[in-house]
Each structure stands twice: as structure tokens, then as C-alpha cells.
Structure 1
């Protein structure tokens, strides 16, 4: 008889002390549990160390090859085989994967879902948070390389964007003992970044079962629905925060059915990213009328992506090529004239100057004459975003 799939919980987060506390709590609560941690702190010297621990402490460690100078590749290529060996040994009741500081849980969750089917069952995804560090983490525009947390030479991410994605992906946030006094504004900011997350203190007896149980799949099979988590982050179907205002922290939602003038928006980007520590969503450029674009900004850094076509740009027979969550989101937001095209951006931060952001965004839209000129004229407006969206390889 084959062994049952090994339950696996991912625990990540840039707040290392909170993350380690969460891992210790899980190991203490589940006899026979083991933790795997890939230390990438010496990746710049082509060294990655895998450490295996139980509730009593480290049991052993080993070096992992570094393919193509890519630390995340080493983690990906070693993680599933290491977990499968634990599953086949039959003595491990729970595998806790403690992700290194700047590793984002989405990538690892998708690796486990793709390569661990049958032998591994991802039952929980947790991001550990020191609630006293929320505002500082989201405001930090420092590059990971500058603080020794880059996963490779080409890792240009910042602290803020990495931390924001770690928090917003995980269904469960484990709150560690705060490093200093926590204000209501800290809690409000965390709540507005991820309104649907469940919070559990790592010292609460409810934390281990919440982390191990995860969220059930629609078919009742248990475990984490990785596809659903991805859909919640994808610009085409993202479950974006709603309007909020509490303890001096605000979230504003801006929606319009007219495209941006590419050159005016490009010129406004530095001011827009400076006005809120976090903003995200999808947007529509006049010179790319059929392309859905993703907006992801944190700590003054902005990433824009060509996500794919608007559904309105496709023949209806081709809609099945896109994920069902994307089609569902478009159907809820359909307009008789432009279909699902439009602007849907959300800005969050303490002391947010919402009126100024609205005015600035509005000034970047096509004016009445530009809009009336139509698609052929829009395509001649210039290509200010080419450097961001079509980089030369």
C-alpha cells in the first residue's frame, strides 16, 4: 500500500525572528515534524546550505549545487527531491519548509503543486510578520542586494515589493512577538494590504492547526488551492482591496473607462509612486488598446507588466484560452462600449492624499478630443512605456 502524501507547510517572510518563531511553534506542536531551510546568505559564493531540523534543533546540513548562479533554481531543484525522500521514509508527520528571507512563497507553492503531486500535499502557506515592522518594511525602497538578501546577481527587487508580495499571497499571517510597540495604524495598514487574510499569533494554540489545515479545495480534497491563490494575485482577476479609512491609514480605489495618454502617465509615475507606499491593479494605455497591463508598486518602486489581451480584444470563441477566474472577473466588470478595458488601481498608505492622487491620475487620461479621435490616433501618441514593457534582451 502506498504511503499517504506528506503534509507540507510553507513559512516565509522577511521578518526572520517572527518566521523562526512560527517554525519552532509548528515543530513543537506536531511530534515527528521536520523543518527544511535553504540558507541563501552565501549564494554570492556559489554556496547554498540545506538544514534539516526538528523541535530539538538542527539534525544535519548539506551543500546544494548552484546551477547557473541561480540560488532560487538551487532551492527549486533540491526542495522537492528532499521532501519526497522524507515522504518515502515514512517517519515524518509534517514537513515545514522555512523559506529564506527574500524568497516569495508563490513560486515555491507552485513548484510543490507541479512536482509533488501524489507524494506531497501542500496544506498551508504562512507569512510570518512582526507587526511593529509593517510600516518600515513597506516604505523601504532599498534593493535586496544592498541589505544582503538578493537571491542572485540579477535580483533587482526591493525590500518593500518583496515583503508586500509575501504578505498579500499567504492566506494566513502569523504574528510574531513585536520588536517594539505596535500601533493601531500598524494593524490597520496590514489589514488593508490583505483584508481577507486570517491573523493568528504564533503563541496562540490555534496557530498550528490553522497553519497545517490550510484552506480546503473546492472539490473537498483538502490542502491549498494554489491555482486560486495565483488568480487572486493576477492583474486580470486580482481580488483587490476595497475603500478603507481607519487610524490614519487609507485605501482608495480609482476606476475609469478611458485610456491613459502614455506620455502623460509615464511623466507622472515618479509622483504617483511617491504618494503611496503601496499601489496595484490593472491599467489601459491608449497606444496599446488591446493589452491588459499590470501595475505593482511598493516603496517607490514600480513594475508594469504586459499581462495579455483584454477579453474585449478577443473573438468570443477564443475566451476559453484564458483562465476562468479572469473571464469571471471580466464578466462582472463589462461595459457595453469598451468591454473589460479600463483602469482599476488601488492605493494604500498612512496619511494618503487621495484627492491629489485622483487629480494626478485624471490628468493622465485622454481628454475629450483625444478620446474622440479614436483608435488610429491613439496608436500615434508615442510609446513612452516601451522601455518598461518591451526591454531589449
Structure 2
């Protein structure tokens, strides 16, 4: 099957250097990119590159949104490439987190161009994993801040209230391989390394200009996610992250058999965000005893939502 690698990152120069290195390692690789800077106007800029072409196309979408872009162009394009090339790199727009994109690749059913049975993209291509590019000098500041994407100029959509921290952490945490834009020196880099050791312990770190074939997600740790989203009842820690403190960074587990009172949870939110890079977990509320609430935070941004039912309660229904 044609291999598919998802590439993400908010550093354009670093991402482009990574693509250049990928094309050096595999001259036949196809790079597919959708630029969403004009998505609010219903326009997407698509670029398709391989050894012999560099095609740029402007697409008009009737319902300008990320899901429309994936459903109406990304999936059909991948289907058309499947079986005709050895490897495709799906280069995501800087404002996209890889997990929902990978979910769509494996869950959204569509009819391939030219006929054939309805299927998902991962029925046609082998999703090898996710590569995230980051700048080690600035990533930790981004991952602990509270600036929003519109404030940073990363989004022009009126309803996009995500923070830069949610984007930075979401890209790194879901990655199977991390590509650093440059070698790091002493000082703050030690703290960044300590955070990454705990956030994505199975992901090797490569340099953008000197990456090896692991940049195609080859030879990875067996515990690597490889683009598969997690479930609400999955383990909260992947791999074997360090449990001891390093450079002032540590992992803290909170567990209780008593449910939260909603007011107690509300009063604790500020503490959950203070000095915390990432919080993830399941919450049991006294007022909703059968429901699993999922909470996750990154820097100054937090999400809480319904994620299913508790397994013990499901057995009684």
C-alpha cells in the first residue's frame, strides 16, 4: 500500500526544510498541502509536489470549513494517489492539530473517484504516523501561554477560540516523530527537553536538515501511536515517561474515588492551569454520576466535555 505520513508544525521554515530533507531521502515522495488562510472566504489553496511537478490549485468550497476541505478534496486526492506512488506526505496547514485529521482519515467513509465501494482513506493507504516540527527555543513559551490563535495571526476564523498552547501541545503530543528546527544549547532547552520527555516519550527527535528515514515513521517504538486517536478509557500515559522530577518538571497523578462537586471543580480550575503544561484525564461529577467528562488543558486553555459512560455503569444498562 501507499504509505502516508502526516506532517504538522507552526514554523514554516522548519517545515519546509523538513520537506526538502524528505524529498532528498525519497525523490519520489508526493507532498500534498492545503493552505487554509482564506478558508473564511470559502477558498483553499492546494499544492501538490513530486519529483516532476509542482501544481498549485485554488479550490472553492461551498461550505468553507476544515471538515469540508478534508471530505471534499483531501480524501479524494489520497484515493487517487493510492497505489500509484510509494509514499505521500500530507502537509497540514499550521493551524491544524493532527489528531482530528487522523480521526477523519480513519473514520470518514467516502466514495473514491472513479467508482468503487465506499471506504475510509486508511483502507486505501497505510497511515505510518505523524511528524511534528517545532522550534525548541520558543515551543515551551507557546505551550504555557494563553494567547489565542487569532491574536498570534494563526487563524482568521471568527469562531476559533483555541490558544496557541493547545495547538503547540496538540501537535507535539500526538506526534510519532519530533523534528527540531535547530540544535539546542544549555539553559531553557533542558526544561523543554524535560517536558517533551514526559509529553511524548516514544517520539525520537531529529534535526530538520539532517533527519534520517525515521522522518517517514520507520523503525519506531512499538508503543508509538501511528496516527490512531485514543479512547476515553485508554491509559492516560503512553510509553514509559520519566516519573522523577527534572529541571523543575514533573508528572503529577491525581486520583480519587469520590466524585467532584461541580463547585469544587470550578474553584480548582485556576490551580489546574497554574504552571501546568498539560492536564488530561477523566472527571466524575456528583451531579452526573453515569457520565465520563473528559478534561484537558494546555497552557491557559482548557476543554471539558462529555466523553461517554463509565464502564461499570454501562454493564448495568
User: Does the pair score TM above 0.5?
Assistant: yes
The Cα of 1:85 is off from its aligned counterpart by 2.4
- Quick check: 1:149 aligned with 2:154? yes
Is it true that 1:201 corresponds to 2:201 in the alignment?
Answer: no
What is the aligned partner in structure 2 of residue 112 from structure 1? 105
Of structures 1 and 2, the larger Rg is shown by 1
2:55 pairs with 1:50: no
CA deviation digits over 1:252-288, x for unaligned, max 9?
2222222112112212312332242321211211111
Q: Which residue of 2 aligns with 1:172?
A: 177
SS of residue in 1 equivalent to 2:100: helix
- CA displacement, residues 116-162 of structure 1 (integer Å, 9 cap, x when unaligned): 24432212311112222221110221211222323733222111012
Q: How many residues align?
A: 301
Shift in CA distance, 70/178, structure 1 to aligned 2, threshold 3 Å: farther
- Relative to structure 1, the CA distance from residue 205 to residue 144 in structure 2 (aligned partners, 3 Å threshold; closer, same or farther) is closer
The answer to whether residue 315 in structure 2 is matched with residue 310 in structure 1 is: no
1:213: Cα distance to partner? 2.6
For residues 312-391 of structure 1, the aligned pairs below 5 Å read 312-315=312-315
CA distance in 2, matches of 1:192, 1:80: 33
Whole-angstrom distance in 2 between the partners of 1:238 and 1:17: 35
Aligned residue number for residue 126 of structure 1: 131
The alignment yields a C-alpha RMSD, in angstroms, of: 2.8
Structure 1 range deviating more: 282-291 or 15-24: 15-24
With over 3 angstroms needed to count, the CA separation of the structure-2 counterparts of 1:107 and 1:138, relative to structure 1, is same
Q: Give the Å deviation of 1:216.
A: 9.2
Aligned twin of 2:3? 7
Higher helix share: 1
Structure 2: gaps spanning 5 or more residues: 108-119
Q: Quick one: structure 1 residues 77 and 153, their matched pair in 2 at CA, closer, same or farther if it must change by over 3 Å? A: farther
- The question of whether the paired residues in 2 share the 8 Å contact of 1:124 and 1:213 is answered with no
- Give the aligned partner of residue 261 of structure 2: 261
C-alpha deviation, 1:246, in angstroms: 0.3
- Give the Cα–Cα distance (whole angstroms) in 1 for the partners of residues 203 and 146 of structure 2: 25
Q: Deviations over 1:99-131 (max 9, x none)?
A: 110211122223333422443221231111222
- Ranges in structure 1 where 5+ consecutive residues have no aligned partner: 319-393
Aligned to 2:111: none
Kindly indicate whether the alpha-carbon contact (under 8 Å) linking 1:102 and 1:151 is maintained by their aligned counterparts in 2.
no
1:247 and 2:247 aligned: yes
Give the drift of 1:214.
Answer: 6.5
Corresponding residue of 2:117 = none
Within 5 A, what are the aligned runs for 1:8-23? 8-23=4-19
C-alpha displacement of 1:15: 2.9
Partner in structure 2 of residue 74 of structure 1:
69
